[in-house]
Amino acid sequence: MNRYKRLVTKLFTALLLMLSSHTALAVAKKMCVFDLLGANGPVFSYMKDYKIAALNWGVELELKPYTNERVAAEDFKSALCDAVIFTGIRARQFNSFSGSLDAIGALPTYQHLKSVITTVSSKKAAKLMLSDPYEVVGISPAGTAYMFVNDRSIDTVGELAGKRIAILDSDPAQQEMVSFIGGSAVGSSIATMYSKFNNGSVDVAFGPAIVYEAMELYKGLEPNGGVIDFSLAQLTMQMLIRKTEFPENYGQQSREYVLSRFDVGMESVKKYESTIPEKYWVAIPESDKPDYREVFRQSRMRLRDEGIYNGKMLKLMRMLRCKKEPQQSECTATDKE
């Protein structure tokens, strides 16, 4: 027994020495972490595991939680943080390629999303992850963006005309989309969008399933509201660093690690989707789906021409969609993305 105890003690000591040596050699860096729920949320929890992995790449991260995404982005831009994680929509101002991954209607399913993230996380795509002085070092799934409506009869594009729709002030793509369908855009932040829906100031709000409980959207859905079961976009969380502040090859090691955790991230996404009661889900008639797809496609091309969406990313996603569903009309259209 004593021999066993000595062996366990030696192994534990060796483990501590190994961890301490990693820490001693690692450079200290600060990371802004945007999470709607702050230090108690799923993103911050995920980053605790990432922090341990980063020690192997020579960096000791100090995680700082933010519930305001705009402030996190400003602190990163001002070099108050060396790294940041926030939504792909917010990341677009730092890297238009990765930031266009969340383009309206571009990725119908999580399988599409995983395929694109796998492609852009490879060594061959490393240059596209650079936008001096920034580098995108990881992309994770944040869930499908759904429409939360206070009237469940709103299940076609035409019925959105004239409705008050909450949009993010930081995303001109949402403004363009609402204008195109004839809705009335109500500028908001992530912090205020859902309170406006709950108090009846807007008829429609967008977001992933996590906001249902976190923002108490059941208040705005009662008594006649619903969640439109159709993907408006595949939302992502993206990690960025100021490249010169980190060791060589940190970015590629990080991207590969984050990709390896994709399925873990999806478990969290699906858990939140399961919290929305079945009674709220509204299925779109199959006959209406082509109209949605075409509206989204036209919007993406206009936003590409305006320099908001990145053409290379749109082309990559179009090629992926057509590989999976070559019968779709866009695959033979003359005006391809």
User: What are the DSSP calls for 191-259, one per residue?
Assistant: HHHHHHHHTTS-SEEEE-THHHHHTTTHHHHTTT-EEEEEEEEEEEEEEEEEGGGS-TTHHHHHHHHHH
Which of 18-32, 247-261, 282-296 bottoms out in mean pLDDT, i.e. has the lowest? Answer: 18-32
Per-residue confidence (pLDDT) for residue 22, from 0 to 100: 46
Q: Is 91 helix (H, G, I), strand (E, B) or coil?
A: helix
In which residue are the tokens 């594009």 written? 157
- The end-to-end CA distance of the chain, in Å, is 69
Check residue 4 and give its pLDDT. Answer: 54
With 80 as the cut, is the pLDDT of residue 6 above it? no
| Rounded average pLDDT over 226-246 | 95
Q: Report the C-alpha gap between 224 and 239 in whole angstroms.
A: 38
Burial zone of 278 (CB within 10 Å; 0-12 exposed, 13-18 middle, 19+ buried):
exposed
Quick check: 35 pLDDT over 70?
A: yes
**CA pair distance 268, 266, nearest whole angstrom:** 5
From residue 97, alpha-carbon distances to 93, 176, 244, 259 in Å are: 10, 19, 20, 17
Region for 166 from its dihedrals, namely left if φ exceeds 0, alpha if ψ lies in -120 to 50, beta otherwise = beta
Kindly give, in sequence order, each residue whose CB lies less than 8 Å from that of residue 308, ignoring residues fewer than 6 positions away.
Answer: 92, 172, 173, 176
On average, the pLDDT of the chain sits at 91
- Looking at residue 25, its pLDDT comes to 73
Strands 204-207 and 281-282: unpaired
What pLDDT was estimated at residue 291? 84
* Largest interatomic CA distance in the chain: 78
pLDDT digits (tens, 9 = 90+) for 171-196: 888 888 888 788 999 999 887 999 99
Higher-confidence position of 171 and 105: 105
Higher pLDDT, 12 or 328: 328
Whole-angstrom Cα distance, residue 167 to residue 89? 12
b/e for 40-73, b at 16 or more Cβ within 10 A? ebbbbebbeebbebbbebbbebebbbbeebbebb
DSSP code for 158 = G
Which of 256 and 296 is assigned the larger pLDDT? 256
CA-CA distances (angstroms) from residue 6 to 17, 50, 51?
A: 16, 32, 31
Domains, the chain: 27-142+235-273 (3.40.190.170), 145-233+279-332 (3.40.190.10)
Between CA 178 and CA 185, with CA 183 as vertex, the angle to 5 degrees is 65
Range 67-76 average pLDDT:
96
- More confident of the two residues 45 and 4: 45
Q: Name the amino acid, one letter, at 304.
A: R
pLDDT tops 70 at residue 297: yes
pTM: predicted TM-score of the whole model, two decimal places: 0.89
Residue 65: band (very low, low, confident or very high) from pLDDT cuts 50, 70, 90: very high
pLDDT at 20 over 50: no
Predicted pLDDT of residue 287:
87
Give the pLDDT of residue 3. 58
Q: Region 88-116: what's the mean pLDDT? A: 96
Collapsing DSSP states into helix, strand and coil, what is residue 166? strand
pLDDT, average across residues 116-127: 97
Of 73-77, 260-264, 307-311, 333-337, the poorest mean pLDDT is in: 333-337
Pair 70, 189: CB distance under 8 Å = yes
What is the pLDDT, as a whole number, of residue 7? 54
* Cis, bond preceding 65 (omega within 30 deg of 0): no
Give tens-digit pLDDT for 131-179. 999 999 999 999 999 999 999 988 777 888 899 999 988 788 888 888 8
- The per-residue pLDDT for 171 is 85
Amino acid at site 209: A
Query: In the predicted model, is pLDDT for residue 43 greater than 70?
Result: yes
**Does 249 or 285 have the greater pLDDT score?**
249
Give the angle 41-43-48 at the CA atoms, nearest 5°.
100
